[in-house]
Amino acid sequence: MKSTTGEKLFYGINYIVLLLLGLSCLLPLVHILALSMSDAHAIMSGRVSFRPIGFTMESFQALFQGTRILDSLKNSITITVVGTTLAMIVTILTAYPLARKYFIGKRFFMLAFLFTMMFGGGTIPNYLIMKSLGIINTYWALWLPALVNTYNLLILRTFFVGMPEEVEDAARIDGCGEWRLLGSIILPLSLPVLATLTLFNAVGFWNSFLAVLIYINDTHLYNLTVLVQNMIQSQSVLQEVVASQMIQADDTAQITPEGIKAAGIITLMAPMVIVYPFVQKYFVKGALLGSVKG
């Protein structure tokens, strides 16, 4: 069917607007990447735009040698891997029974979960609960409240509900119990939505910031997000690097706070950017399957 002039104009405007929006998101990241790889003189003179000038990796070297970024990176990986694993296990074990017709009381539990989307206790009650449980200054204060995300639960439950009943009937005829049905039949057929929810959880835990500031008192337990934020706000990054005695004093002239901060931002973003392409093919498919069916 041939497009009319109005449709062509409409699509053309859409493409232009989307292109501008995409560039508005991409160009600042390209600028930060260029800053992290540019010579100090080029950064201080303001000549760096979207490509490195005087290519150097000294900002990254100073970042990794003069700060606790490796410890913070290890903390971020621990928070993300353990938190995502626990959240996915609990979400699956919660969504599966809620998707079964024969589960008694599923309406009550669904309403209870939906209630949490509209009303919350607030920061102070949550803190008091964590304190009463004795998990302040531990990562359990980050993991426990995020074990079940209601939005993710609804997506996964809707996907389970939309599965053909014939698949379950055939499995039961072959002698599958509930656990084997879930592990051998349901989950392998749910890889797109599981990959999508895993990405949602991983990004959430990786970017944990406010919860870390509230529940974690030991600075050695801070994750990468908090460390980079502190670096951005601090005006004494170079002094911290020099005080670490890991970079010679005569090399500090080649390092700028802006370059170190840019290197920290790139380090923070890099793991998620690397992981995303591996699950991108499942992303749209999984979200649509879990939100449209049922």
Range 247-252 average pLDDT: 48
* Token pair for 213: 């500031």
CA distances 60 to 30, 119, 241, Å, are 16, 44, 12
Q: Detail the DSSP E strand segments found in 5-152.
A: none
Q: How far apart are CA 265 and CA 29, in angstroms?
A: 9
The verdict on 99 and 144 lying in the same domain is: yes
Number of domains in the chain: 2
The verdict on 145 and 47 lying in the same domain is: no
The verdict on 253 and 225 lying in the same domain is: yes
56, 80, 100 — which closes off a domain?
56
Longest Cα–Cα distance of the chain, Å, equals 76
End-to-end CA distance of the chain: 33
The verdict on 130 and 167 lying in the same domain is: yes
DSSP line for 208-227: --HHHHHH---GGG--HHHH
Give the range among 93-97, 102-106, 242-246 with minimum mean pLDDT: 242-246
* Token pair for 256: 């700028």
Residue 28 amino acid letter: P
228, 206 in Cβ contact below 8 A?
Answer: no
The verdict on 50 and 125 lying in the same domain is: no
14, 34, 56 — which closes off a domain?
56
CA distances 126 to 115, 160, 177, Å, are 16, 31, 38
The verdict on 39 and 164 lying in the same domain is: no
Helices (H), 99-206: 106-118, 123-133, 140-143, 150-161, 165-173, 178-180, 187-189, 191-206
The verdict on 134 and 18 lying in the same domain is: no
Average pLDDT over the chain reads 82
b vs e for 127-155, b when ≥16 Cβ sit within 10 Å of the residue's Cβ?
A: eeebeeeebeebbbbbbbebeebbebbbb
121: CATH: 1.10.3720.10
The verdict on 212 and 196 lying in the same domain is: yes
Q: Mind listing the pLDDT tens digit for each residue in 138-183?
A: 999 999 988 888 888 988 888 888 887 787 778 888 787 888 888 8
* Token pair for 257: 């706070």
Q: How far apart are CA 250 and CA 265, in angstroms?
A: 25
Can you give the residue range of the structural domain that contains 164? 58-294
Q: Mind listing the pLDDT tens digit for each residue in 253-289?
A: 567 777 888 888 888 888 888 887 777 766 655 555 5
pLDDT at 8 over 50: yes
Of all residues in the chain, the percent with pLDDT exceeding 70 is: 87
Which residue matches tokens 């994750």? 223
178, 103 in Cβ contact below 8 A?
Answer: no
The verdict on 64 and 6 lying in the same domain is: no
61, 123 in Cβ contact below 8 A?
Answer: no
pLDDT for 15: 92
The verdict on 114 and 32 lying in the same domain is: no
The verdict on 45 and 71 lying in the same domain is: no
| DSSP annotation of 190 | T
pLDDT for 46: 79
The verdict on 86 and 218 lying in the same domain is: yes
